[in-house]
């Protein structure tokens, strides 16, 4: 301490300097400037011990070791908010952090660069400014106040030890912090995990006092569960998501009081969690980390969860163990999904219910891919933990995300043009059945991008989905031309005129693909009919179990049902509304298919597909053949004639087979131009189209 401006004012009687140590009792270490001099600079490479009194105008940074050692209960020592290398607080006089500004007007938190030691029952109050510890922390006493003790080193991990108390402890080191030497400290108000992992263990642990909070930020974590004296509340916060919930959630299902999710992108729980008071969501809580791990979030109070934001919902299983039977809704996974029992009899003994809602997920059941992209599974137990399935009288509200602009949000998929037909459906005995009481059309919250409706009388629990009402009309109107019978703007009906079209399609390809073929039994073949065709409906281009419909083709190119005039009705055979690739097959023409899936839904004007437009076909113009011009001057395309053996390619085999049946009359596959007789005109098709092949997989 060689600076000539350093002044130590002796208040009482004694000052003793020895080996770089200043020991004082009842003194003030005063480094304040006056009108004649600036403040001095104190250089400390040893230890300064202040046994009593105060300090004034210390450097912004104090090296060495600085000890505040007041022992008188009624006295206090003010700890300046500056940088200390090592700071030691001992004995029983009150110590508290000052809130001074530096000479340049700045204010900094009290910061220790090497170590912070609080011991010997010292009451250390952190009310004005927080304490930043850049290295190790030892607390064997009691740190109180509304500000944090923050472990915020950046270069390496930090150690924390001792059996003292912290009101507010904050871990803010990307390298984390380690509880060492048995730990033993207690957090009395809040543990904040801002950044890095707080690494505790069974052997070196700490305690959370009753009714405390753990606040975990995105980027912070706690390795193991601490000791919970009583209730604890947990808040998740920050920009991004948290993919696991470990040490901060008590295993004891009675301990977690409140759970708040305030992250921007949600959290994923990694164990079953039970909340015993308030559940708050600002973004999703996901209960299923993967297909092998499916956890349950449980709420044990009458208080409904609070959803604060359009994206806030519970993705997965949400269980409520306290039900009420009155005119009030019981809210489940989102504000639009709820149940209501008007009285206890309506519950059929239910004591708890679980809703498993999976957003952006088709029901994993046959036909589920033709529903709204959201699963609904409802289950419940009675007082003896026996499942209740039937006999309830539940008013059920249900919702899903609906947006015409944001495909990442929207779950209505291509069902949205048929929004007014969407209805709640239950999976029952291997089929989807309408919940007849479900209100349609649904309502639409355009601000939050949710669609919602309700079913006033649900009598069974189980698997549900939202789909097109099976009571609606599902029809197809289409236009198609075949090259073979084409004559100057239309197709010939020679087979009908000659009475050669059978009243039931014969057991030949492609009619034998249709399992309902044998039930077609015409009284007579309607006027203007060219022939039978088969339309195949595939959920994907390689669908192993497509739906088939045998239809009639008219001379003007219109495809009609077997009555010869109506659009093709598609409800038979269990076919549901949805998106399909359409494949057209004929007994001696190359098959064609749509390039993309076509939405087949109940529509006021029906569903229309123009197979003469090559732009919608797989392979475009390569899949069909130009045969003439339309009235508007555009080119008319048709299915390619000549594949008499139905192997998908027109080659010499087709030519030979046609030659072998020349001059035969009847309903024959080799009659390529559908005139009723096999002749050289048919041979011309197989020869002229040789080498052409279908593009349908």
Residues 677, 549: Cα–Cα separation, whole Å: 27
For residue 1, is it within any domain? no
Cα dihedral: 366, 370, 376, 382 (round 10) = -40
Q: pLDDT category, 24, cuts 50, 70, 90?
A: very low
Last residue of some domain: 378, 398, 418? 398
> Do 433 and 386 lie in a common domain?
no
Q: pLDDT category, 368, cuts 50, 70, 90?
A: confident
For residue 11, is it within any domain? no
Q: How many CB atoms lie within 10 A of CB 54?
A: 19
Half-sphere exposure of 132 (CA within 13 A, CB side): 17
Q: Pairing between strand 558-560 and 607-610?
A: unpaired
Specify the pLDDT at position 419. 86
Helix (H) or strand (E) holding 681: helix 680-688
> Do 153 and 230 lie in a common domain?
yes
> Do 371 and 429 lie in a common domain?
no
Alpha-carbon Rg for the chain, nearest whole angstrom, is: 40
> Do 576 and 490 lie in a common domain?
yes
Strands (E), 16-60: 16-18, 21-24, 29-30, 47-50, 55-56
pTM confidence score:
0.71
Helix (H) or strand (E) holding 168: strand 165-172
For residue 87, is it within any domain? yes
Q: Is the pLDDT at 137 greater than 80, yes or no?
A: yes
Q: pLDDT category, 365, cuts 50, 70, 90?
A: confident
Question: Residue 461: CB partners within 8 Å, gap ≥ 6?
Answer: 378, 379, 380, 388, 389, 390, 392, 394
> Do 678 and 639 lie in a common domain?
yes
Exposure string over 451-479, b if 16+ CB within 10 A, otherwise e: bbbbbeebbebebbbbbbbbebebbbbbb
DSSP 150-166: EE--SSS-EEEE-S-EE
Tally of structural domains, the chain: 3
The 8-class DSSP code of residue 665 comes to: B
Exposure string over 279-298, b if 16+ CB within 10 A, otherwise e: bbbbbbbbbbeeeeeebbbb
> Do 391 and 464 lie in a common domain?
no
> Do 523 and 454 lie in a common domain?
no
Specify the pLDDT at position 597. 93
**Contact yes or no for 182/207 (Cβ under 8 A):** no
Last residue of some domain: 341, 368, 398? 398
Specify the pLDDT at position 18. 33
Q: For residue range 174-204, what is the model confidence (pLDDT) as tens digits?
A: 999 999 999 999 999 999 999 999 999 999 9
Q: Which of 65-69, 120-124, 429-433 has the lowest mean pLDDT?
A: 429-433
Domain, as residue range, for 411: 405-468
Helix (H) or strand (E) holding 690: none
Coil, helix or strand for 517? helix
> Do 292 and 359 lie in a common domain?
yes
> Do 463 and 479 lie in a common domain?
no
Q: What is the distance between the terminal CA atoms of the chain, rounded to a whole angstrom?
A: 91
Helix (H) or strand (E) holding 79: strand 76-79
Q: Is the pLDDT at 37 greater than 60, yes or no?
A: no
Position with higher pLDDT, 525 vs 102: 525
Average pLDDT rounded to a whole number, residues 273-291 = 97
Helix (H) or strand (E) holding 684: helix 680-688
Position with higher pLDDT, 37 vs 681: 681
For residue 160, is it within any domain? yes
Mean pLDDT, rounded, of the chain: 91
Burial (CB < 10 A; 0-12, 13-18, 19+), residue 606, is middle
Q: For residue range 386-403, what is the model confidence (pLDDT) as tens digits?
A: 999 999 999 999 999 999
Average pLDDT rounded to a whole number, residues 61-90 = 92
Backbone angles phi, psi at 595, to 5 degrees: -70, -35
Residue % of the chain over a pLDDT of 90: 78
Residues 592, 584: Cα–Cα separation, whole Å: 6
Q: What is the 3-state secondary structure (H, E, C) of 186-233?
A: EEEEEEEEEEEEEECCCCCEEEECCCEEEEEECCEEECCCCEECCCEE
- Among residues 347, 305, 307, which one has the least CA distance to residue 326? 347
Q: Which of 32-46, 423-437, 559-573 has the lowest mean pLDDT?
A: 32-46
For residue 695, is it within any domain? no
Last residue of some domain: 448, 468, 488? 468
For residue 318, is it within any domain? yes
Cis check for the bond before 508: say yes or no (omega within 30 of 0): no
Average pLDDT rounded to a whole number, residues 564-588 = 84
State the Cα angle at 430 between 424 and 436, rounded to 5°: 25
Residues 660, 271: Cα–Cα separation, whole Å: 74
> Do 319 and 374 lie in a common domain?
yes
Specify the pLDDT at position 432. 85
The 8-class DSSP code of residue 400 comes to: E
**Chain mean position to CA 687:** 57
Residues 64, 58: Cα–Cα separation, whole Å: 13
User: Tokens in use for 318?
Assistant: 């949400």
Residues in the chain: 697
> Do 242 and 102 lie in a common domain?
yes
Long-range contacts (CB closer than 8 Å, 24 or more residues apart) made by 229-232: 230/255, 231/255, 231/256, 231/257, 231/276, 232/208, 232/256, 232/257
Question: Residue 20: CB partners within 8 Å, gap ≥ 6?
Answer: 44, 45, 46, 47, 64
Q: How many CB atoms lie within 10 A of CB 512?
A: 14
For residue 100, is it within any domain? yes
Q: Pairing between strand 578-586 and 183-199?
A: unpaired
Max CA distance (Å), the chain:
138
Residues 589, 534: Cα–Cα separation, whole Å: 12
Any bridge partners for residue 581, and if so which? Answer: 538
Q: For residue range 219-244, what is the model confidence (pLDDT) as tens digits?
A: 999 999 999 999 999 999 999 999 99
Helix (H) or strand (E) holding 508: none
Q: Is the pLDDT at 65 greater than 70, yes or no?
A: yes
Q: Is the pLDDT at 20 greater than 50, yes or no?
A: no
Q: Which of 272-276, 475-479, 643-647 has the lowest mean pLDDT?
A: 475-479
For residue 3, is it within any domain? no
Q: pLDDT category, 8, cuts 50, 70, 90?
A: very low
> Do 539 and 666 lie in a common domain?
yes
**Chain mean position to CA 233:** 25
């Amino acid at each position: 301490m060689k600076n000539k401006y350093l002044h130590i004012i002796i208040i009482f009687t004694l000052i003793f300097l020895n080996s770089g140590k200043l020991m004082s009792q009842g003194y003030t270490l005063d480094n304040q400037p006056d009108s004649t001099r600036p403040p001095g600079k104190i250089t400390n490479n040893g230890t300064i011990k202040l046994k009593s009194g105060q300090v004034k105008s210390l450097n912004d940074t104090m090296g060495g070791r600085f000890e505040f050692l007041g022992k008188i209960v009624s006295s206090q020592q003010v700890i300046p908010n500056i940088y200390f290398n090592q700071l030691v607080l001992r004995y029983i006089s009150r110590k508290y952090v000052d809130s001074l500004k530096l000479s340049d007007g700045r204010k900094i938190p009290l910061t220790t660069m090497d170590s912070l030691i609080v011991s010997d029952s010292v009451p250390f109050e952190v009310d004005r400014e927080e304490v930043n510890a850049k290295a190790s922390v030892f607390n064997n006493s009691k740190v109180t106040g509304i500000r944090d003790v923050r472990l915020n080193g950046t270069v390496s991990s930090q150690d924390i030890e001792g059996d003292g108390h912290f009101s507010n402890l904050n871990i803010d080191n990307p390298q984390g912090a380690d509880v060492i030497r048995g730990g033993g400290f207690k957090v009395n108000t809040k543990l904040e995990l801002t950044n890095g992992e707080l690494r505790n263990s069974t052997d070196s642990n700490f305690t959370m006092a009753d009714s405390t909070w753990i606040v975990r930020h995105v980027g912070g974590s706690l390795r193991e569960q601490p000791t919970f004296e009583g209730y604890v509340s947990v808040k998740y916060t920050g920009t991004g998501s948290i993919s696991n919930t470990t040490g901060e959630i008590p295993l004891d299902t009675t301990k977690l009081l409140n759970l708040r999710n305030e992250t921007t992108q949600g959290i994923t729980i990694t164990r079953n969690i039970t909340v015993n008071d308030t559940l708050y969501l600002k973004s999703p809580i996901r209960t299923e980390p993967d297909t092998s791990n499916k956890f349950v979030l449980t709420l044990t109070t009458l208080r409904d969860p609070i959803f604060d934001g359009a994206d806030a919902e519970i993705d997965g299983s949400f269980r409520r163990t306290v039900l009420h039977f009155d005119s009030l809704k019981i809210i489940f996974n989102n504000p639009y999904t709820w149940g209501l029992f008007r009285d206890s009899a309506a519950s059929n003994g239910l004591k708890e219910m679980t809703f498993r809602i999976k957003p952006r997920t088709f029901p994993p059941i046959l036909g589920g891919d033709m529903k709204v992209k959201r699963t609904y599974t409802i289950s419940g137990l009675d007082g003896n933990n026996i499942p209740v399935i039937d006999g309830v009288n539940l008013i059920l509200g249900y919702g899903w995300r609906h947006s015409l602009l944001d495909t990442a949000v929207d779950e209505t998929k291509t069902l949205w043009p048929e929004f007014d037909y969407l209805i709640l459906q239950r999976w029952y005995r291997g089929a989807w059945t309408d919940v007849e009481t479900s209100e349609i059309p649904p309502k639409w919250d355009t601000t939050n991008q949710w669609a919602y409706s309700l079913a006033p009388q649900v009598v069974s629990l189980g698997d549900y989905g939202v789909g097109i009402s099976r009571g609606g009309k599902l029809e197809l109107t289409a236009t198609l031309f075949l090259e073979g019978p084409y004559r100057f703007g239309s197709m010939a009906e020679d087979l009908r005129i000659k009475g050669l079209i059978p009243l039931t399609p014969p057991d030949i390809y492609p009619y034998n693909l249709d399992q309902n073929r044998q039930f077609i039994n015409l009284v007579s073949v309607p006027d203007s009919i060219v022939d039978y065709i088969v339309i195949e409906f595939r959920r994907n281009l390689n669908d192993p179990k497509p739906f088939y419909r045998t239809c009639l083709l008219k001379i003007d190119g219109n495809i009609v049902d077997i009555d010869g005039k109506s659009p093709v009705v598609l409800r038979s055979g269990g076919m549901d509304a949805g998106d399909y690739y359409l494949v057209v097959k004929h007994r001696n023409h190359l098959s064609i298919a749509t390039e993309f899936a076509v939405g087949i839904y109940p529509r006021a004007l029906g569903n229309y597909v123009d197979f003469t437009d090559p732009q919608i076909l797989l392979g475009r113009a390569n899949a069909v053949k130009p045969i003439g011009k339309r009235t508007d001057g555009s080119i008319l395309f048709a299915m390619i004639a000549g594949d008499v053996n139905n192997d998908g390619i027109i080659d010499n085999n087709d030519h030979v087979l046609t030659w072998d049946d020349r001059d035969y009359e009847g309903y024959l596959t080799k009659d390529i131009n559908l005139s009723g007789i096999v002749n050289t005109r048919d041979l011309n098709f197989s020869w002229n189209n040789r080498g052409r092949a279908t593009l349908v997989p």
